[in-house]
Chains A and B, each alone.
Chain A
Amino acid sequence: ETGVTQSPTHLIKTRGQQVTLRCSSQSGHNTVSWYQQALGQGPQFIFQYYREEENGRGNFPPRFSGLQFPNYSSELNVNALELDDSALYLCASSPQGLGELFFGEGSRLTVL
């Protein structure tokens, strides 16, 4: 059974650019959540997808958007990148309703 995998692991972008981060959920998990972890902070909830629909959103602007695909893989898209978007982006999957999240290793985004 493979766990949650994310790509890329590291990337560097410049202000104003757009980025797409990808996540493959753990087998059998139909819910995916995305979190942003800034340096020295705990992870912050961005949004969650269940059966390809957004199922809850944190306090993030609309330039943060996502998709979940029929195979339960997911993408996080961020438009018009700002310096403060520099962070570790964590994807987590779960069988819906379990309450426990299974995290990937994260994608570290640096915005210059």
Chain B
Amino acid sequence: DQQVKQNSPSLSVQEGRISILNCDYTNSMFDYFLWYKKYPAEGPTFLISISSIKDKNEDGRFTVFLNKSAKHLSLHIVPSQPGDSAVYFCAASEDFGNEKLTFGTGTRLTIIP
């Protein structure tokens, strides 16, 4: 039972354009959402998060949007840079501070120079 789904296994985007990564969830108890980025041979690193009381959170080139009624969130990266090429994981927890995270299967983003 996949409670967090990333339906696009891969995505290629031209450098300088916008990258949009999508994530859907089924568990209505999820209240806090995070995006992690993973390079090969490294552990995942935290990118950005959002609480369910907000619908948008922005940090530099990264913006996460949450549509709670649709149980959908997305990560926007603009402008995309070659260093953004990595696997991106969406994760969810039932409340802020709860480190039991449920992860999606990841989307491999490739930025084309």
- Chain A interface residues toward B at CB < 8 A: 4, 31, 33, 35, 40-45, 48, 56, 58, 90, 92, 94, 96-106
Residues of B within 8 A of A4 (CB): 43
Whether A33 and B44, one on each chain, are in contact in the complex, defined by CB atoms closer than 8 angstroms, is no
Whether B43 and A99, one on each chain, are in contact in the complex, defined by CB atoms closer than 8 angstroms, is no
Residues of A within 8 A of B49 (CB): 99-100
- Chain B interface residues toward A at CB < 8 A: 4, 6, 32, 34, 36, 41-46, 49, 89, 91, 93, 96-106
A-side interface mostly? loop
Whether A103 and B43, one on each chain, are in contact in the complex, defined by CB atoms closer than 8 angstroms, is yes
Residues of B within 8 A of A101 (CB): 44, 46, 99, 101
Whether B97 and A56, one on each chain, are in contact in the complex, defined by CB atoms closer than 8 angstroms, is no
Whether B93 and A99, one on each chain, are in contact in the complex, defined by CB atoms closer than 8 angstroms, is yes
Assembly CA distance A43 to B46 (angstroms) = 14
Residues of B within 8 A of A106 (CB): 43
Assembly CA distance A4 to B45 (angstroms) = 11
Assembly CA distance A86 to B40 (angstroms) = 18
Assembly CA distance A96 to B100 (angstroms) = 12
Whether A42 and B41, one on each chain, are in contact in the complex, defined by CB atoms closer than 8 angstroms, is no
Whether B97 and A45, one on each chain, are in contact in the complex, defined by CB atoms closer than 8 angstroms, is no
A26, chain B: closest CB distance, angstroms:
11
Whether B105 and A99, one on each chain, are in contact in the complex, defined by CB atoms closer than 8 angstroms, is no
Whether B99 and A103, one on each chain, are in contact in the complex, defined by CB atoms closer than 8 angstroms, is no
B31, chain A: closest CB distance, angstroms:
10
Whether A42 and B105, one on each chain, are in contact in the complex, defined by CB atoms closer than 8 angstroms, is yes
